[in-house]
Amino acid sequence: MSKLGVFDVAVRYGKVPALSDVSFTVQEGERLFISGPNGAGKSSLLKAICGAVATTHGRIEVEGDVLNGRSPEAIARLGLTMVPEGREVFGTLTVEENLRVGTGIRKDKAAIETDIDGIYQSFPILGERRHANAGALSGGQQQMLAIGRGLMTNPKLMMVDEPSLGLAPNIVDQVYETLVNLQAERGLTLIIVEQSSARAARVGGRMVLLRGGHVAGDGDAAGFAESDLLKEAYFGQNQSEDAT
């Protein structure tokens, strides 16, 4: 059974259609990039999976459990976590307080301290700055903290919305290196919204390409780099610009 199944999903905001007929499955331990131009529906897809927006059609399943109609908290309990676009760390709380915010739903209180230590091992800079206010961290450090906070719910599937947003390219490299390492260490299934298909191809994985709320392509991210599908998704037909 696949980890995640998205079948014929539609999302609307009032009269505005954001997604229609979206279907794909994700296997355990897979790394899937969701790519596509502004307004393609990437964030709406992640929000639909984690229960933050309602679907108007179709079905979303995790290991056979249907997610539609469940609260975001109930979905988180099934082992899904979402790191939102813009990171949304609590600037006036310390790094460590931010890490503890996500632990309310956990029953294994004794393991929380071990997990915090584990996060400091994966992100040494967070350990060094554990007593600093999150608002004083750099953008890259805040992105690490947002990912660390997501890990505190002990997820099996983690979704990250545009981790490269607003970060310098070398910092983006570090964030991706950390995500790839975490995946290897924890066996995480990762779904990452990444607008740069070139970046997705460099990191490696599978890519679902969205355009206008539809799936325009699904395959190996590296294979998309030169594809006409990608150029069409970003620029419309009959254009030959490089879609990065």
Is residue 211 a contact point for ligand ATP (CB under 6 A)?
no
83 secondary structure, DSSP code: E
Instruction: Please give the Cα distance from 236 to 244 (Å, whole number).
Output: 14
Interface with ligand ATP: number of residues (CB under 6 A): 12
Which residue's structure tokens are 């355009």? 211
Nearer to ligand ATP, 127 or 212 (CB): 212
Nearer to ligand ATP, 100 or 214 (CB): 214
One residue of 18, 26, 134, 144 binding ligand ATP per CB under 6 A: 18
Instruction: Please give the Cα distance from 8 to 5 (Å, whole number).
Output: 10
Instruction: Enter the tokens of residue 172.
Output: 């983006």
Is residue 38 a contact point for ligand ATP (CB under 6 A)?
yes
Is residue 16 a contact point for ligand ATP (CB under 6 A)?
yes
CB neighbours of residue 56 within 10 Å:
15
How far is residue 193 CA from its own chain's centroid?
6
One residue of 8, 13, 117, 187 binding ligand ATP per CB under 6 A: 13
SS3 58: strand
Stretch near ligand ATP under the rule CB under 6 A, chosen from 42-50, 74-82, 93-101, 182-190: 42-50
Is residue 40 a contact point for ligand ATP (CB under 6 A)?
yes
On whether the CB atoms of residues 61 and 67 are closer than 8 A, the answer is yes
One residue of 5, 26, 36, 55 binding ligand ATP per CB under 6 A: 36
Closest CA to 230 of 195, 182, 186, 203: 195
Order of all β-strands in the sheet with 206-211: 80-83, 157-161, 189-193, 31-35, 206-211, 214-220
Query: What mask, x for binding ligand ATP by CB under 6 A, covers residues 43 to 72?
Result: xx----------------------------
Nearer to ligand ATP, 38 or 92 (CB): 38
How far is residue 224 CA from its own chain's centroid?
20
Query: What mask, x for binding ligand ATP by CB under 6 A, covers residues 172 to 201?
Result: -----------------------x------
Is residue 41 a contact point for ligand ATP (CB under 6 A)?
yes
Is residue 166 a contact point for ligand ATP (CB under 6 A)?
no
Residues that bind ligand ATP (CB under 6 A): 13, 16, 18, 36, 38-44, 195
